[in-house]
């Protein structure tokens, strides 16, 4: 029953968020008269560019601004503080200590959500309005050293401003996808359109949608590449914050052992939470996280003196 309620909340929140984004952007575009008009001579390109910028960036920015609140609501995150009893207080104190080591002036909110999955995430629109949340499954399965590595990794995401950077990248890609798909569609279907000025032909609309899918797909590959890059950077940041690569290496090794030891079904759920990364095939292009073995090897190569090795 709990899982059903959890999924229902996420579906409802996803729907409400998209409705809010659509209503907001449609209102802005309508009030300022920014709907681009297709004529026999093509688009009014300045208005088209502004339209695509608003629609492309607007959705990403609104989602970012809502990210902390929506994550807490959809995942049932229970906030904890350094004064909280038990593991909640220990978790909050650990996060605050690592944030001080990282030089963050504002402490993020800290929370725990009930899930058997081994997962943690950081979200929020700014460093001062961020959230670090950890699953109950991760708290049960990792020791303090491994937990420190995970928390330092998430704090590194906050310090690096990764949520904002990824949002801007996605917004720019969305804007270019909307803009280029319409221009290319007009060029490709110019012979099929009537000479009289009108909103456009069915052929132009069909080609536009097709191009949006193709360009959006290519843009998604760029977003995935950047996401993998920021994971490597957060791993390195975890080493800097902890003062040693050992916590992060042990955390990744613990995840690696869990993926190998658990059933294929459970491993699939770990991959779905983007915690284990992709394999060695072309499907890696669609993964937002690098393979665990590559992350471990990179930390070892960067931080281990010659002739020594880390082990759990």
Catalytic residues: 154
Angstrom CA distances, 141 to 116, 258, 295, stand at 10, 9, 20
How far is Cα 100 from Cα 123, in angstroms, rounded to an integer? 18
How far is Cα 148 from Cα 293, in angstroms, rounded to an integer? 19
- Report the chain's terminal Cα–Cα distance, integer Å: 38
Angstrom CA distances, 200 to 180, 208, 212, stand at 16, 11, 16
**Residues 107/81, Cβ–Cβ less than 8 Å:** no
> Which residues are within 8 A (CB) of 110 and not within 5 positions of it... i.e. 6 or more apart?
79, 80, 81, 91, 92, 95, 96, 131, 132, 133
Residues comprising the chain, all counted: 312
């Amino acid at each position: 029953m709990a899982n059903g309620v959890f999924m229902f909340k996420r579906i409802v929140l996803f729907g409400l968020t998209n409705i809010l984004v659509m209503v907001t952007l449609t209102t802005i575009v309508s009030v300022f008269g920014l709907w681009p008009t297709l004529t026999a001579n093509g688009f009014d390109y300045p208005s088209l560019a502004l339209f695509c910028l608003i629609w492309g960036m607007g959705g990403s920015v609104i989602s970012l601004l809502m990210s902390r609140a929506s994550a807490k609501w959809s995942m049932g995150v229970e906030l904890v503080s350094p004064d909280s009893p038990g593991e909640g207080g220990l978790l909050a104190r650990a996060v605050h200590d690592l944030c001080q080591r990282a030089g963050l002036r504002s402490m993020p909110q800290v929370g725990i959500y009930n899930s058997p999955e081994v997962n943690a995430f950081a979200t929020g629109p700014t460093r001062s309005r961020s959230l670090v949340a950890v699953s109950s499954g991760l708290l049960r399965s990792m020791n303090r050293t491994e937990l420190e590595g995970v928390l330092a990794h998430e704090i590194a995401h906050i310090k690096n401003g990764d949520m904002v950077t990824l949002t801007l990248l996605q917004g720019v890609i969305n804007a270019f996808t909307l803009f280029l798909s319409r221009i290319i569609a007009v060029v490709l279907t110019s012979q099929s359109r009537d000479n009289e000025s009108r909103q456009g032909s069915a052929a132009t609309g069909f080609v536009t949608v097709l191009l949006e899918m193709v360009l959006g797909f290519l843009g998604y590959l760029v977003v995935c590449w950047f996401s993998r890059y920021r994971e490597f950077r957060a791993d390195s940041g975890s080493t800097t914050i902890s003062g040693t690569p050992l916590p992060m290496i042990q955390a990744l090794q613990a995840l690696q052992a869990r993926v190998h030891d658990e059933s294929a079904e459970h491993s699939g759920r770990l991959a779905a939470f983007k915690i284990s990364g992709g394999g060695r095939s072309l499907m890696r292009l669609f993964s937002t996280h690098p393979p665990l073995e590559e992350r471990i090897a990179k930390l070892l190569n960067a931080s281990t003196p010659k002739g020594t090795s880390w082990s759990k």
